[in-house]
Homo-oligomer: A and B are copies of this chain.
Amino acid sequence: MAKVITFGEIMLRLSTPGYQRFVQAGSFEVTYGGGEANVACSLANYGASAAFVTKVPANPLGQAAINHLRRYGVDTSFILKGGERLGIYFLETGASQRPSKVVYDRKYASIAGVQPGEFDWARIFAGASWFHFTGITPALGENVAAVTLEAARAAKEMGLTVSCDLNYRKNLWTPEQARATMTQLMGYVDIAIGNEEDAEKVFGIKAAASDVTRGEINEEGYRQVARELLTRFNLQKVAITLRESFSAFDNGWSALLYDGREFYRSRRYQIHIVDRVGGGDAFAGGLIYAVTEGFAPAEALEFAVAASCLKHTIPGDFNHVTREEVMTLMRGDASGRVQR
């Protein structure tokens, strides 16, 4: 069984209940999440061995974040304690024409203060076969970018497969900053994942003739993006998720995989959304799992897309589905009939 290491931030997630706006809320629903933590949870759900590496404050909130990971089977033994605070993100879940709104309060988080040398990567990667990170983590600060680079380099040297979800965040850095840092990191990456905007924002690789705000997708354009990413960074695989946003409730969801030889296009799901956050991470978690399990590329892609389709139906960042549930969906039963 593969052992996967993911590195990044886990935040306290505070969301308003029942489609309330922030100014209305008398309570917040509490959970914890973050790109790479979400991926680790996906993997643990499927039965893989997954450890999440981060730094949280030595207070009850840091402990609660750890407990949340443990609860769902993620190995938390490499998590450091210290620093100032746990990052927070506030979420209003959107509805129909009203978009979901995220207010980040993640600055000064413990993970944003880590320095090169704090993590013992040799010990962390011992016995592991895969390392995953996202473009969010190096965007947390130059120091965190340096630590990410340290990790990616160590992973590569120790023979791990390295995957990266580009995940451009415009409120964390500029395209220029992103390009400089991510280009360096891509030197250690084997598998890249991006959504319909990332490649353009980070590397200036634009899909021809698509307008995502209108829900139009030009598949050929995305093939070009995948081809260029794979070539430029000498990758094994590039996956691109294709979200068609018709409204905050209704999205089309599918993906594309390119392995340098062939293009694979997944089935397309028309999703009525419960909670869209973590959808991309569920894709990454599904893809990593399927690849480590030796699925053929087309099956790996279908597993990843079906897994992330299911994520959209579950509240919270984490994707609480089993391997069997994903397999049932990818094999074609999307009827939603009661399972007794």
From residue A62, how far is it (CB to closest CB) to chain B in Å? Answer: 10
Q: Which of B98, B316, B329 contacts A336 (CB 8 A)?
A: B98
Q: Does A108 contact B (CB under 8 A)?
A: yes
Interface pair A246/B85, CB less than 8 Å apart:
no
Q: Does A68 contact B (CB under 8 A)?
A: yes
Interface pair A25/B19, CB less than 8 Å apart:
no
Most B C-beta atoms less than 10 A away, residue of A21, A94, A275, A339: A21
Q: Does A209 contact B (CB under 8 A)?
A: no
Interface pair B338/A22, CB less than 8 Å apart:
no
Interface pair B272/A23, CB less than 8 Å apart:
no
Interface pair A30/B26, CB less than 8 Å apart:
yes
Known: A71-B68, A90-B61. A274 touches B96 (CB 8 A): yes
Q: Which of B20, B316, B335 contacts A213 (CB 8 A)?
A: B335
Interface pair A96/B277, CB less than 8 Å apart:
no
Q: Does A95 contact B (CB under 8 A)?
A: yes
Question: Which A1-27 residues sit within 8 Å CB-CB of chain B?
Answer: 14, 17-27
Question: Which A315-340 residues sit within 8 Å CB-CB of chain B?
Answer: 315-316, 320-321, 325, 329, 332-340
Question: Considering the chains assembled together, what is the distance between the CA atoms of A258 and B88 in angstroms?
Answer: 46
A68, closest chain B residue (CB): B71
Question: Which A258-296 residues sit within 8 Å CB-CB of chain B?
Answer: 269, 271-277
B-chain residues with CB within 8 Å of residue A88 when the two chains form the complex: 88, 105
A214, closest chain B residue (CB): B335
Q: Does A126 contact B (CB under 8 A)?
A: no
Question: Considering the chains assembled together, what is the distance between the CA atoms of A97 and B312 in angstroms?
Answer: 9
B-chain residues with CB within 8 Å of residue A232 when the two chains form the complex: none
From residue A232, how far is it (CB to closest CB) to chain B in Å? Answer: 27
B-chain residues with CB within 8 Å of residue A23 when the two chains form the complex: 60, 63-64, 67, 72, 320
Interface pair A334/B60, CB less than 8 Å apart:
no
- The 6 A-B residue pairs with the shortest CB-CB distance, nearest first, are A248-B336, A71-B71, A22-B60, A95-B313, A245-B335, A98-B313
